[in-house]
Structure 1
Amino acid sequence: MTASISDVATQAGVSVATVSRALRGLPNVAPSTRDRVLDAARDLDYVADPNASRLAAGRTRSVGMVVPLFTQWFFSQCVAGAEGVLAAGGYETLLYNIGSHESRRRFLTELPFRKRVDGIVLVDLPVSEAEMATLCEAGVPIVTIGLRTEQAPSITIDNYGAACTATRHLVNLGHERIGMISNLPDDPRHFHAPVDRRRGYQDVLAEHDLELRPELDVPGNFSLEGGAEAMAQLVAVDRPPTAVFAQSDEMAIGALKTIHDAGLRVPEDISILGFDDHDMAEFVGLTTIAQPVVQHGELAAELLLERADRPDAEPTHVEAPTKLIVRDTTAPRHPARRDGPHRPRRARPLAGPPRGLP
């Protein structure tokens, strides 16, 4: 059986992303690691030359990137990663931004990419088995990011496990009242990641016999503005949380602004933890769960090229790693804050008079 990029990664003892970067001569790969990857590829007779690859007979030299929300950081970074690999192989990238329910319906029924692209990458687009079967019937290779199916190669992360890690970090710091900023409860797009992350958060609270209060799970719509508005709701509840897990860094950064505007301190009054390791996370000192977002796109492009060269091979499924990065926005619960942080001195986003310490 022909070796795959995953076989090379296993033999070299590195990630698939590292194999991809080493074989394409990209930076940030140690010389010793690059040599190990090249040796493994040579031993397995694995050859990956993007310039020689041909997708579906190479008719268009174009690849479609399908995203539901291109303006959000996660999606734009995935596209940027894939675009770099595809451009190196002589392929153009066509963007299909299907944020509305109607545009999604048209894309999945009319299949506008047929005869326009030689392959597509679905970026965190929830699709049913029937919808996936329809896409596959279009006759072009497909790779998914954020969704694992049996019909196509995929790149995913363990959202549940990562959320457990995030919540346990806050619990281990002594926080008992932990809020969450998440997705809209009636979001018609039905993304999987928010569901898995909420489940991890809830399960860890249950493990430690901590109260799960619905008013501490507030929607932030994965945006800066949404995170700011959600944080305003959280600090306004009776006995507000001493720590908050935001399901994205963008929402966490929005929350930080609300806390600052309300005259509260991070992490003395409220600890904040995000998800993604956004470009701005390090600059604002945000504790976060990091995932290799750009590498998701790079890997998706590599798997697409590989899939085109070996269409009968079993789909490759890669679970990318996540990592807790502790910075300045989380700290042990202040002993005087047993019932939550003090009320804001300047409640610009909130209604009602300020209060003192509980």
Structure 2
Amino acid sequence: MVASIEDVARRAGVSIATVSRALRGLPDVATGTRDRVLTAAADLNYVASPFAARLASGRTTTVGLVVPFVNRWFFAEVIDTAETALRRAGFDLLLYNLGDREGRHRFFDVMPMRKRVDGVLVASLVLDDFEFDALTALNRPVGLLGIEREGFLSARIDDIAAARSAVDHLIGQGHQRIALIGGDTDDPMRFTPPLHRRDGYRDALEAAGLEADPALERLGFFTVEGGAEAARYLLARPDPPTAIFAESDEMAYGALREARRSGLRIPDDLAVIGFDDQPLSELMDLTTVRQPVADQALDVTTRLLALISETEDALNRDPAVVLPTELVLRASTEGDADPL
């Protein structure tokens, strides 16, 4: 039978409150009394409840992580990295998957993490003023991943510049009809890549004196099947593109598959470039923009923990961090090798 704090109190001949203070090392317990409590606890193999200790300290040692989806590669990487960093620091992760428009509204209306967390991480959500106000009202440190807002910790990449570098690469190879397979900029979840990467695509075209053609922009919804369907539509046009920029590697995989089924040579007939540099991208020989997902998540999680602990390091760090991306060139845009 597991011993309780009441058993320790009876064995030591003191109150439960005294046992709690003695085990927490508080100074208002006489040395003799503390020794009796510690001896009784050792004799009974008593282990203090972590939940009780948290309540006594006013800390939950828990950080909430808010994501729009959990079934996409980016967010799985964020969750894994944040959870590992928190666990090593003795913290738990409380995950909130918004899922859809109703889930998002309910979350920010109710704020179910209230009094349950010491800090909050928000991943890749475009927040409106009401939602920022709801986070501020928690009176807890908040870290943002993928967006930047004055007064909040943040870690992100420059999605606009990264997308522009990808399209610049295609333009430099002589492509003028460059299609975009992207996410829905009107998605009610309002996460950042569809907005920023589309802007980078259009900026690159404009800078090169190329007119953006709305008929060459197609939704792929960040899935392989979505990318394949979008490519099927684009390649069936009377004036198909000679290159495709996909806002994620999954959509690029779908485009490559559809190009293969259409009998096209990669990259001679169609060049394809993705975004993320997921593990399969090297196997697919896909040119892509490498973004440091784990580094972003680790950076903002580490700084959030420092802020929770009120360390000097937290006060001296720049609250807004922008990490670099890298254009990784492979056979889907260069050379004669077919990546398929």
Q: What range is the shorter-chain TM-score in?
A: 0.7 to 0.9
Partner of 1:151: 151
The equivalences for 1:1-358 within 5 A come to 59-310=59-310, 313=315, 316-331=319-334
Shift of 1:158: 0.9
Higher helix share: 2
Amino acid at match of 1:329: S
Amino acid at match of 1:64: G
Shift of 1:332: 7.6
Pick the structure with greater CA Rg.
2
Shift of 1:73: 0.4
Shift of 1:209: 2.1
Does structure 1 retain, via aligned residues, the 8 Å contact 2:104–2:189? no
- Give, in whole Å, the separation in 1 of the partners of 2:92 and 2:329: 38
Partner of 2:40: none
Amino acid at match of 1:203: D
Amino acid at match of 1:271: A
* TM norm structure 2: 0.78
- Give, in whole Å, the separation in 2 of the partners of 1:298 and 1:185: 27
Amino acid at match of 2:319: T
Does structure 2 retain, via aligned residues, the 8 Å contact 1:84–1:298? no
- Give, in whole Å, the separation in 1 of the partners of 2:243 and 2:116: 49
Partner of 2:14: none
Q: List per-residue Cα deviations over 1:170-229 (Å, max 9, x = no partner).
A: 000111110010112432223333222212211221222223211101011111111111
- Give, in whole Å, the separation in 1 of the partners of 2:75 and 2:106: 20
Q: List per-residue Cα deviations over 1:82-106 (Å, max 9, x = no partner).
A: 1111111111212110021111011
- Give, in whole Å, the separation in 1 of the partners of 2:58 and 2:225: 43
Amino acid at match of 1:256: L
Does structure 2 retain, via aligned residues, the 8 Å contact 1:81–1:296? no
- Give, in whole Å, the separation in 1 of the partners of 2:303 and 2:88: 15
CA RMSD of aligned residues (A): 2.0
- Partner of 2:279: helix, strand, or coil? coil
Q: List per-residue Cα deviations over 1:88-131 (Å, max 9, x = no partner).
A: 11112121100211110111110101122221110001111332
Change (3 A) 1:159 1:58: farther
Amino acid at match of 1:295: D
Mind listing any 5+ residue stretches in structure 2 that lack a counterpart? 1-53
- Give, in whole Å, the separation in 2 of the partners of 1:165 and 1:173: 13
Amino acid at match of 2:333: T
- Give, in whole Å, the separation in 1 of the partners of 2:159 and 2:177: 22
- Partner of 1:255: helix, strand, or coil? helix
Shift of 1:59: 2.3
Shift of 1:58: 6.1
- Partner of 2:283: helix, strand, or coil? coil
Does structure 2 retain, via aligned residues, the 8 Å contact 1:285–1:329? yes
Number of residue equivalences: 279
* TM norm structure 1: 0.74
Shift of 1:81: 1.1
Q: Which moved more, 1:193-202 or 1:107-116?
A: 193-202
- Partner of 1:318: helix, strand, or coil? strand
Partner of 1:338: none
Runs of 4+ in 1 over 4 A off after TM superposition: none
Does structure 1 retain, via aligned residues, the 8 Å contact 2:62–2:93? yes
Shift of 1:245: 0.4
- Give, in whole Å, the separation in 1 of the partners of 2:184 and 2:230: 11
- Partner of 2:282: helix, strand, or coil? coil
Q: List per-residue Cα deviations over 1:60-99 (Å, max 9, x = no partner).
A: 2221111001101011101111111111111121211002
Amino acid at match of 1:108: F
- Partner of 1:281: helix, strand, or coil? helix
Does structure 2 retain, via aligned residues, the 8 Å contact 1:175–1:332? no
- Give, in whole Å, the separation in 2 of the partners of 1:164 and 1:121: 28
Sequence identity of aligned pairs in percent? 41
- Partner of 1:96: helix, strand, or coil? strand
Amino acid at match of 2:332: T
